[in-house]
Amino acid sequence: CDWSGNEVTPLGSAYFLISEVVALGVVVRNLNNEGTGAGVGQMTVGSTARPKPPPLMLQFEGKNFSRKIVPDSAVLSFEVVRTEADGEKTMLYKSEMLKNASRVVWKACTLSCQEISDEASRQLEVTCYFKDEKYRNTIAGSFTTTHRELRTVQEPFTLTNPLYKGGLKVCGQFDVIKRAELTICSFLDYISFG
């Protein structure tokens, strides 16, 4: 297009399909003058798929729970909560209830990463709950972490409870016993790679 003041004059046009751009990555077309049909130039249209971090599959094992906090007859569960930039909390996962034992192994869960740049450093809080014989839901302990730490850290996470010894004494431990980044193909991936 050529424009001057309030007037726009089309110099040429070309047609392309979005599917061509997706499949080929870059499409080159000749621009033809609509009045004469003569070639007036060339245009290049390209696309790039925005990279998205893969979801993270985790399996937690809880052990070494303090008998002063968690009774032997209790059932345990945990939840993962993300703290948003505005301070709001979003629950990402809530586990099933399992009977207290020396080792409590929950089913694997999947935590998806949002398409935001600071996701890897955003705080996650993992809180372990127990229900006693009177069906009271009480916090056994919690720890804070990030997506980046869950992907890489090999050491166990220690649970602390602010009501137990002022939060200074360890009241349990969470190990990540299984961790994998899941590959999920989008419709665009299937079009691009077949």
In a domain? residue 189? no
Residues 82 and 25 in one domain: no
For residue 51, tell me if it sits in a domain: no
Judged against a pLDDT cut of 80, whether residue 135 lies above it is answered with no
Exposed / middle / buried, residue 171 (Cβ in 10 Å: 0-12, 13-18, 19+): buried
Is there a single domain that holds both residue 133 and residue 170?
yes
Does pTM top 0.85 for this prediction? Answer: no
Q: Is the domain of 37 the same as that of 105? A: no
Do 69 and 39 fall into the same domain? Answer: no
Q: Is residue 7 part of a domain?
A: yes
Q: Are residues 69 and 87 in the same domain?
A: yes
Say yes or no: 129 and 168 in one domain.
Answer: yes
Q: Is 67 left (phi over 0), alpha (psi -120 to 50) or beta?
A: alpha
Q: What is the pLDDT of residue 151?
A: 85
Q: How many domains does the chain have?
A: 2
- Is residue 107 domain-shared with residue 159, that is, in the same domain? yes
User: Band of the pLDDT at 4, cuts 50, 70, 90?
Assistant: low
- Taking the C-alpha atoms of residue 58 and residue 178, their distance in angstroms, rounded to an integer, is 6
Q: What is the pLDDT of residues 14-65, one digit of tens each?
A: 888 988 887 788 999 998 887 788 888 999 998 877 777 778 899 999 999 9
Least Cα distance to 79 among 93, 99, 96, 98 occurs for 93
Question: Does 188 map to a domain?
Answer: no
Residues spanned by the domain of 170: 56-181
The pLDDT assigned to 159 comes to 92
State pLDDT tens for residues 71-115: 888 999 999 998 888 888 989 999 999 999 999 999 999 888 754
186 belongs to a structural domain = no
